[in-house]
Amino acid sequence: MGSQRVRLTTEGNVPGLTPFDESHQAGLPPARIPVDHQSSDEDLMELLPPQIVAAQSAEEDIVSVETIAERILPEWVVLAHGTRGAFVARLADLLRGLSAREMRGQFRYESLRQPHTRGRIVIEATPASRDPRGRTQAWQAQQRRAASALKRRQAQEAAGQLSLDELAEQGGLAEE
């Protein structure tokens, strides 16, 4: 019914469902889904390095872009084929950029023009395969690379933050 009201009637006669009509004026619920297929590239970039590191820690050699999309996008199974394709294309562009810049040498992006896949990442190096005496430092270096990939987003968020005084002037703080 909208962002402020939801209603279930008895027209469907589904056993176990009781009708209700609820109103809500407190705004949108807290985010439980980190991204959707329409999220910004910056939001997607926040989730890609962790996916790459997870593949490295699991010692996966190859991960398709579609698999990464399924892992970060909760509604993947209900998306239309065209929407999936557009989302995978966006992820492919972001992965291509990561492999050329911040995470160079960790993985490479391979473009595939096959019917069931558009591309994949090939893990080139993983701290998990190192000598146990150097793994901790290698994972720490990987964390710095991932942080470097995310620094643009963090810098943008910090620039957009308001001080408490500015927030109060805009009416964002309640009176005690």
d(CA 4, CA 27): 7
Q: H-helix or E-strand containing 159?
A: helix 132-160
Residue 85 C-alpha from the chain's centroid: 16
Closest CA to 37 of 84, 106, 4: 84
Per-residue model confidence (pLDDT) at position 29: 58
Q: Which helix (H) or strand (E) holds 33?
A: none
First-to-final CA distance of the chain: 35
CA torsion 78-96-116-67 (nearest 10°) is -50
79: left (phi over 0), alpha (psi -120 to 50) or beta: beta
Per-residue pLDDT tens, the chain, 176 aa: give them: 566 777 777 766 667 777 777 777 766 555 567 788 888 898 898 889 889 888 888 889 999 999 999 999 888 988 998 999 999 999 999 999 988 888 888 889 998 776 666 789 998 888 777 777 878 888 888 788 777 777 755 555 555 665 556 655 665 545 54
Is the whole model's pTM more than 0.85, yes or no? Answer: no
Structure confidence at residue 176 (pLDDT) = 45
